Amino acid sequence: MKKLCLVIALFLCACGESEKPLDEPVTGEVSIIPHPRFVKRIGGQFEITPQTLIVADDEAGLRCAALINAFLAETHGGLSLGISGVAGESNSIILRTISPNEHQGSSDESYELKVTPRRIEISGTEHGLCNGVQSLLQMMPDEAGNGIRIPAAEISDAPRFRYRGAHLDVARHFMPVAFVKKYIRLAARYKLNYFHWHLTDDQGWRIEIRKYPRLTEIGSKRRETVRGKSYQPYVGDGKPVEGFYTQEDIRDVAAYARANNVTIVPEIDMPGHAAAALAAHPEFGCRQKYPYTVKTTWGGFPDVFCPSDQTLAFLEDVLAEVIDLFPDSPYIHIGGDEVDLTHWKTSPVVRTINEREGLKDENETLRWFVERIGSYVESRGRKIICWDDMIKNGQMPRAVIMSWNGIDIGSRAARSGREVIMMPDEITYFDRPQASPELEPLSLGKKTSLSDVYAFDPIPKDARPEDVKNIIGAQACVWTEFIKTPEHVEYMVFPRLAALAERLWSPAGAKDFVNFRMRLANEFARLDRYDVNYRIPEPYGLSDRVLANGEKFVVDLSSPIPGGKIYYTQDGTEPNTNSTPYQSPLIKLAKAGEPLLIKAIVVSPKGRQSLAASGRYGLPRQPAFAMPRVVNRLPTRDLRANKNGKANALP
Kindly list the catalytic residues.
201, 273, 338
Considering only 267, 338, 340, 528, the residue that binds ligand TNX (CB under 6 A) is 338
Rounded to 10 degrees, the C-alpha dihedral 12/16/19/23 comes to 10
Q: What is the footprint of ligand TNX within residues 340-399 (CB under 6 A)?
A: 387
Per-residue binder mask for ligand TNX (CB under 6 A), 4-33, x = binder = ------------------------------
Contact status: 640 vs ligand TNX (CB under 6 A): yes
Residue placing its CB nearer to ligand TNX in the complex, 153 or 334: 334
**Which amino acid makes up residue 134?**
Q
Contact status: 404 vs ligand TNX (CB under 6 A): yes
- What minimum distance in Å lies between the beta carbon of 170 and ligand TNX? 12
Residue placing its CB nearer to ligand TNX in the complex, 85 or 651: 651
Q: Are 537 and 608 in contact (CB under 8 A)?
A: no
CA distance to 71, 161, 635, per residue, from 397 (Å): 43, 21, 40
Q: At what angle do helices 496-505 and 513-529 cross, to 10 degrees?
A: 130
Residue placing its CB nearer to ligand TNX in the complex, 194 or 479: 479
Residue placing its CB nearer to ligand TNX in the complex, 299 or 374: 299
Residue placing its CB nearer to ligand TNX in the complex, 245 or 404: 404
Considering only 444, 463, 561, 603, the residue that binds ligand TNX (CB under 6 A) is 444
The Cα–Cα gap between 316 and 382 comes to: 13
- Per the DSSP assignment, residues forming a β-bridge with 46 are 150
The Cα–Cα gap between 278 and 577 comes to: 52
Residue placing its CB nearer to ligand TNX in the complex, 269 or 467: 269
Which run of H or of E encompasses 241? strand 241-242
Residue placing its CB nearer to ligand TNX in the complex, 223 or 640: 640
CA distance to 1, 210, 627, 648, per residue, from 332 (Å): 53, 19, 49, 30
Residue placing its CB nearer to ligand TNX in the complex, 338 or 490: 338
- What minimum distance in Å lies between the beta carbon of 168 and ligand TNX? 12
- CA-based nearest residue to 402, from 384, 391, 388, 389: 388
Q: Are 261 and 610 in contact (CB under 8 A)?
A: no
- What minimum distance in Å lies between the beta carbon of 481 and ligand TNX? 6
Q: Measured at the alpha carbon of residue 243, what is the angle toward residues 238 and 249, in degrees to the nearest 5?
A: 170
Half-sphere exposure of 470 (CA within 13 A, CB side): 24
Contact status: 301 vs ligand TNX (CB under 6 A): no
- What minimum distance in Å lies between the beta carbon of 404 and ligand TNX? 4
- What minimum distance in Å lies between the beta carbon of 406 and ligand TNX? 12
Rounded to 10 degrees, the C-alpha dihedral 176/182/184/185 comes to 160
DSSP state of 232: T
Contact status: 126 vs ligand TNX (CB under 6 A): no
Residue placing its CB nearer to ligand TNX in the complex, 387 or 491: 387
- Per the DSSP assignment, residues forming a β-bridge with 599 are 569, 614
Q: Measured at the alpha carbon of residue 596, what is the angle toward residues 595 and 598, in degrees to the nearest 5?
A: 160
- What minimum distance in Å lies between the beta carbon of 443 and ligand TNX? 9
Contact status: 262 vs ligand TNX (CB under 6 A): no
291: Cβ contacts below 8 Å, ≥ 6 apart: none
Residue placing its CB nearer to ligand TNX in the complex, 338 or 502: 338
- What minimum distance in Å lies between the beta carbon of 432 and ligand TNX? 8
Q: Where are the beta strands (DSSP E) in 336-467?
A: 383-387, 400-403, 420-422
- What minimum distance in Å lies between the beta carbon of 492 and ligand TNX? 11
- What minimum distance in Å lies between the beta carbon of 395 and ligand TNX? 15
Radius of gyration for the chain, computed over Cα atoms and rounded to the nearest angstrom:
27
Which run of H or of E encompasses 113? strand 111-115
Considering only 183, 429, 482, 494, the residue that binds ligand TNX (CB under 6 A) is 429
The Cα–Cα gap between 523 and 476 comes to: 19
Considering only 337, 362, 502, 523, the residue that binds ligand TNX (CB under 6 A) is 337
Query: Count residues contacting ligand TNX (CB under 6 A)?
Result: 10
Considering only 431, 467, 512, 523, the residue that binds ligand TNX (CB under 6 A) is 431
- What minimum distance in Å lies between the beta carbon of 156 and ligand TNX? 37
Q: What is the footprint of ligand TNX within residues 479-518 (CB under 6 A)?
A: 479, 481
The Cα–Cα gap between 523 and 138 comes to: 9
Q: Where are the beta strands (DSSP E) in 469-571?
A: 471-476, 545-546, 552-555, 565-569
User: For binding to ligand TNX (CB under 6 A), which residues are involved?
Assistant: 337-338, 387, 404, 429, 431, 444, 479, 481, 640
